[in-house]
Structure 1
Amino acid sequence: MTGTTRSSADLDPRRRRILVRAWRRGIREMDLVIGGFADAEIGSLNDAELDELELLMAEDDGDILRWVTGEAETPERFRTALFDRMRSYVPDFEPEPTPKGQAAEQ
């Protein structure tokens, strides 16, 4: 299972390929960020935005994760409106603390 909730039936081959790559990153956190972004926006991205997304997806997943979480400064070439939109798909990766006296759910 890829995690995608979007059908690719209405997408052209390039968008289909990007959608698959977005959900098969190698780091689950990046699947969620890039895949979630692609699910929501792949159909509306223009050619320049698709180019930019493909360039970003060619970067190391660990680097992208640090950029989207703010652990590391995002390189100038990726400080774009598209990257900012993708950042809005970052889930809360920090687990909520278990209140004292309650067992953590398994």
Structure 2
Amino acid sequence: MMVGVSMNDNEPESMDLRLRRARYRADHRGTKEADMVVGGFFEKHHAEFDEAAMAWFEIVLQEQDVDIMAWAFGTAPVPAHLDNDWMKLLTKLDYVTVIK
């Protein structure tokens, strides 16, 4: 499926639908740590997403958790196609909160 395109009729999906889908995928990564990083980033920044940022985040969501976590923690280089100002915000990790 093309990012941001409805499966039914090739019409662009609404930003609201894309955000709802992204929220779910960001919060249900497979590990609690990835949920905190990816989901926390989404919760802090999604209100600022324009079309380009949304498309970038949808691509990030397709990546493996281990890779996203390595980029976020600075233990692996960020691929050139994902390295932008949004990735710099993701690597700040200032959005992660500890759940007790």
TM range (shorter): 0.7 to 0.9
Is residue 17 from structure 1 mapped to residue 57 from structure 2 by the alignment? no
* Higher gyration radius (CA): 1
How far apart, CA to CA, are the structure 1 residues paired with 2:48 and 2:78? 24
User: Scaled by the length of structure 2, what TM-score is found?
Assistant: 0.73
Q: Name stretches of at least 5 consecutive residues in structure 2 with no aligned partner.
A: 1-14
Task: Name whichever structure is richer in helix by fraction.
Answer: 2
**1:1-106 → structure 2 map (5 Å cutoff):** 12-89=16-93, 91=96
Aligned pair count reads 83
**Is residue 22–residue 34 contact of structure 1 (8 Å, CA) maintained in 2?**
yes
Which stretches of structure 1, 4 residues or more, deviate above 3 A after TM superposition?
A: 90-93
Deviation at 1:30, TM superposition (A): 1.4
Percent identity, please: 29
Q: CA RMSD in A?
A: 2.0
User: Scaled by the length of structure 1, what TM-score is found?
Assistant: 0.70
